[in-house]
Amino acid sequence: MSLTKLLNLMADGAFHSGRELGEALGVSRSAVWKQIQRIEMLGIEVYSVKGRGYRIPAGLDLLDLERFSDQLSSPASDRLEEVVFEGEVASTNVLALQALNRGCRSGLFAAEYQAKGRGRRGRDWVSPYAANLCFSLAWRFSAGVAALEGLSLAVGVALRRGLARVGVNGVQLKWPNDLLSDGRKLAGILIEISGDAAGECQVVIGVGVNVSMPAAQADKVTQPFVDVASLTDNHPGRNALLAVLVEELLETLDSFERDGFGALREEWQEANAHRDSRIRLISGQDEVDGICRGVDESGALLLESGGQIRSYYGGEVSLRAME
């Protein structure tokens, strides 16, 4: 029995009896019950009432290819060779990389749930089924790896623009690849690059956006976070939000490939979460304290320490605010 089909039936938030669900899916009530247990393991709350059946109290805002396509502008749609929505996957970045390896030039890969979703430095990305947005954009650049300096910052600018379009304003950008609201994490970016130093590069842009995190899952998140639902009274739903973010990403990627990060630098600076604040950079066992002076034309962080301003690049570097 397909878990996706069961969730589509229950997405309306109404009660459905075990018999009704079993008949619709062609399985026994016992099989339905086992899948209900599986649903709960994915972080979805299910009410079970004797004589009435099962209900997902808040309903589900499931990703839907047709609804997404209706929201996506024609220019953006024409730029994507592949658009794939899945239920449960290991990682959307893996799907995007596989597509690039088989010759795809551009594609969008989204999933309701990532079993092995990752953030930077190998951290897990906690996201219950159908609650947030987990997606990856597969893209090819022709100018070589060196020309991709500042790409994660450019992606942050694009996502910030998209969030503003749906009423989420004042989003801050934390170097090199987080989006914050009042210091709480709203979204994260994970970019993976392979290819020639001077020739064509394959890029996977992985994005996670907190859209509507269930309260029951909050204790699994190890840092302060916030979601779109709590920042706007009328967010458009996951399909429409995804369409807006993809449109902004595609437009920004064109700008980035043409003009580099320098053209986006001032916009990033204005949203810098740690502008002129004391911070600590951590790289392995090394730590350095200083004052954040923004970023340079290549996206490197400018840190003033000991009367000098030094440049620091991304990779396995962690930034923390200091009291």
Indicate which CATH number applies to the domain containing 282: 2.30.30.100
Annotated binding site: 91-93, 114, 118-120, 185
Is there a single domain that holds both residue 174 and residue 311?
no
Q: Cα dist. 236→165, 215, 229 in Å?
A: 10, 20, 9
Is there a single domain that holds both residue 182 and residue 301?
no
Asked whether residue 60 is domain-assigned, the answer is no
How confident is the model over 102-129, as pLDDT tens digits? 999 999 999 999 887 555 445 566 678 9
Q: Is the pLDDT score of 228 beyond 80?
A: yes
Last residue of a domain, one of 250, 269, 288: 269
**How much is the pLDDT for 118?**
57
Q: Is the pLDDT score of 42 beyond 90?
A: no
Q: Is the pLDDT score of 265 beyond 90?
A: yes
CA 116 from centroid of its chain's CA atoms: 14
> What CATH number corresponds to the domain at position 69?
3.30.930.10
Is there a single domain that holds both residue 184 and residue 311?
no
Last residue of a domain, one of 30, 55, 80: 55
Q: Cα dist. 76→207, 250, 265, 281 in Å?
A: 18, 7, 24, 38
Asked whether residue 229 is domain-assigned, the answer is yes
Is there a single domain that holds both residue 217 and residue 72?
yes
Is there a single domain that holds both residue 315 and residue 219?
no
Is there a single domain that holds both residue 72 and residue 116?
yes
**How many domains are there within the chain?**
3
Token pair for 8: 């589509």
Band the pLDDT of 58: cuts 50, 70, 90: confident
Asked whether residue 283 is domain-assigned, the answer is yes
How confident is the model over 134-180, as pLDDT tens digits? 999 999 998 888 889 999 999 999 999 999 999 999 999 999 999 99
The whole domain housing 254 covers 65-269
Is there a single domain that holds both residue 282 and residue 159?
no
Asked whether residue 225 is domain-assigned, the answer is yes
Is there a single domain that holds both residue 164 and residue 280?
no
Asked whether residue 14 is domain-assigned, the answer is yes
Is there a single domain that holds both residue 134 and residue 238?
yes
**How much is the pLDDT for 317?**
78
Where is pLDDT greater, at 283 or 301? 301
Q: Are 283 and 201 in contact (CB under 8 A)?
A: no
Q: Is the pLDDT score of 98 beyond 70?
A: yes
Is there a single domain that holds both residue 121 and residue 165?
yes
**How much is the pLDDT for 35?**
93
Is there a single domain that holds both residue 282 and residue 264?
no
In this prediction, residues 268-276 reach a mean pLDDT of 96
State the catalytic residues.
120, 185, 320
> What CATH number corresponds to the domain at position 33?
1.10.10.10
Average per-residue pLDDT for the chain = 91
For residue 121, how many other CB atoms are within 10 A of its CB?
A: 11
Asked whether residue 121 is domain-assigned, the answer is yes
Where is pLDDT greater, at 41 or 155? 155
For residue 104, how many other CB atoms are within 10 A of its CB?
A: 18
> In this prediction, what percent of the chain has a pLDDT beyond 90?
73
Is there a single domain that holds both residue 17 and residue 103?
no
**How much is the pLDDT for 10?**
94
Asked whether residue 103 is domain-assigned, the answer is yes
Q: d(Cα 95, Cα 83) in Å, to the nearest integer?
A: 11
In this prediction, residues 258-279 reach a mean pLDDT of 96
Annotated binding site for biotin: 91-93, 114, 118-120, 185
